[in-house]
Amino acid sequence: MNAGLALYGNYAYIGSRTDGSHADAGVLVVDIANPSNPQVVYQIGPPEEGLAGQTSRELRIWPEQELLLVMNLNCEVRLHDCAQVVVQADLSVYDISGANAAAPRRIIAYPLLRVPHEMFLWEDPAMSGRALLYISTPGGYIYNVLVLDISQARAGQLQELGNWGAPRELVNAGLHSLSLSVDGKRAYLAHLRDGFMILDTSELAAGITNPQMQLLTPPYNWARSSPGPHSAVKLSGKPYVLTTEEVYWACPWAWARILDISDETRPQFVAEYKLHPYNIAEHCGDPSLAQYINTSFSAHNPTLTKNLAFITWHSGGLQAISIENPLAPMQVAAFLPEPLPAVGTEDPALSSGPDKVVMWSYPIIKDGLIYVVDIRNGLYILKYHGPFEEEVTAIRFLEGNSNLGEAQLWEIP
């Protein structure tokens, strides 16, 4: 039941999608010094992680400060096979400097009073030592975006900087996730069932007192689709955003779309990428697809290079898609792992049926290799071969849920 992935130096940190009612439900520390032979060397367990009712769903690394960020939230009984225990969501900050990289030491557990879901780490490219964490808080709250200043996290201090919520009468299922432009002036919101929209976050980026976020896309122009966006990441150097959508149980599940954001007040869908036959509505009556219960062939989390999109696609594995021409995305490679014959805990929603592949995490590219987590089957370390191979090989660090590494080199003049 693996979840979020983060990398630093010779270590990978992997969260859990389930809770402490199962073994090994803390945050695993994996030695990746030899990428062909990774080894679990430590687990952050109770009382910090791996508690009953709590899932360590989301992880990030702030490398400049040598900090591991773990967002713990309530675990759902039906979806994640968790104990029926209500716990306080929190953001736990760990020191991973020096010897602590192999056995992280917690500095602070910051309580999150609203239910969080995902987070985006924005490091200020203009000011060393400054970073903001944008957290989506779905569920019909007035506020759907929470922004924390984590610049003093090493000293045990986090500061709430701002909140934003969509017009209350239009909020359906709440904000699922968001990403930021590299300069921090724009936020791209994947508002499940209410659509895609853009926020002006330039005041937060500038660090002014009492910063405000302004909606640039009016509600009547939100880019709506069915079932709605799960994730949204801007293409590098191009006026386009790639969104993924997610459905667990229903054929044709969901896929990836590309929007033109040349006019930020009116984003427009211009292209899409589907897996055949799973994402084709006309095939849903095919008896061969009827077997896929408790599984999903949905797009999930994307990481984008200049010309490629690497997307975890649940039972569709890891998809590599050319976005050189955003109007005509096309598959250039795919990786589908051989499932383990048995595991300790099957995901009730995604691997309890006949299909046993559940690619899930945001892919991370580090020193030319791709690291990605399958909920059921574990950590995979891959080498990409195909169009724009040299582009991938040259990357020192890139992930879809932060602006770290090559993202800054490509976008900042």
Instruction: Please write the tens of the pLDDT for every residue from 60-72.
Output: 999 999 999 999 9
- Element (DSSP H or E) covering residue 204: helix 202-206
Phi and psi at 169, nearest 5°, equal: -70, -15
What letter would DSSP give residue 109?
E
* Partners of 273 in the β-ladder: 256
Q: Whole-angstrom Cα distance, residue 318 to residue 324? A: 18
Band (pLDDT 50/70/90 cuts) for residue 197 is very high
What letter would DSSP give residue 337?
P
Residue 270: closest CA among 313, 303, 227, 238: 238
Q: Whole-angstrom Cα distance, residue 138 to residue 314? A: 22
Say if residue 387's pLDDT is above 90. yes
Whether 3 and 18 have beta carbons less than 8 Å apart is answered as: no
**Stretch among 118-132, 235-249, 381-395 having the lowest mean pLDDT:** 235-249
* pTM over 0.85, yes/no: yes
* pLDDT tens per residue across span 314-330: 999 999 999 999 999 99
Instruction: Give whichever of 47-56, 343-352, 403-412 has the largest mean pLDDT.
Output: 47-56
Percent pLDDT > 70 in the chain is 97
State residue 107's pLDDT score. 98
Percent pLDDT > 90 in the chain is 78
* Averaged pLDDT for residues 293-312: 94
State residue 171's pLDDT score. 56
State residue 170's pLDDT score. 61
282, burial (CB in 10 Å: exposed 0-12, middle 13-18, buried 19+): exposed
* Averaged pLDDT for residues 327-348: 95
* Averaged pLDDT for residues 365-383: 97
3-class state of residue 39 by DSSP: strand
* Averaged pLDDT for residues 201-211: 96
Q: Whole-angstrom Cα distance, residue 163 to residue 161? A: 7
Whether 3 and 375 have beta carbons less than 8 Å apart is answered as: yes
State residue 17's pLDDT score. 94
Tokens of 325: 């021409």
Say if residue 32's pLDDT is above 80. yes
Q: Whole-angstrom Cα distance, residue 189 to residue 170? A: 15
Q: Whole-angstrom Cα distance, residue 318 to residue 274? A: 13
Q: Whole-angstrom Cα distance, residue 278 to residue 298? A: 9
* Averaged pLDDT for residues 381-387: 98
Q: For strands 369-374 and 90-95, give the pairing.
A: unpaired
* Averaged pLDDT for residues 172-194: 89
Q: What is the CA radius of gyration of the chain?
A: 20
- What are the sequence ranges of the domains in the chain? 1-112, 113-411
Band (pLDDT 50/70/90 cuts) for residue 266 is very high
Say if residue 413's pLDDT is above 50. no
Q: Whole-angstrom Cα distance, residue 177 to residue 117? A: 7
State residue 379's pLDDT score. 98
The angle at the Cα of 117, spanning 94 to 410, to the nearest 5 degrees, equals 75
* pLDDT tens per residue across span 343-363: 989 998 899 888 999 999 999
Q: What is the residue-wise DSSP string for 269-286?
A: EEEEE--TTTT-GGGTT-
3-class state of residue 84 by DSSP: coil
State residue 78's pLDDT score. 84
Q: Whole-angstrom Cα distance, residue 136 to residue 375? A: 22
Tokens of 19: 């809770």
- Bond from prior residue into 47 cis (ω within 30 degrees of 0): yes
Q: What is the residue-wise DSSP string for 280-308?
A: -GGGTT-GGGTT--S-------EEE-SSE
* pLDDT tens per residue across span 143-168: 889 999 999 999 999 999 989 887 76
Q: Which residues have C-beta within 8 Å of that of residue 126, sequence separation ≥ 6?
A: none
Say if residue 28's pLDDT is above 60. yes
- Which CATH number is correct for 113-411, 3.30.470.10, 3.20.20.70, 2.130.10.10, 3.40.50.800? 2.130.10.10
Say if residue 100's pLDDT is above 80. yes
What is the dihedral sign for C-alpha 339, 389, 309, 66? Answer: positive
* Averaged pLDDT for residues 198-221: 95
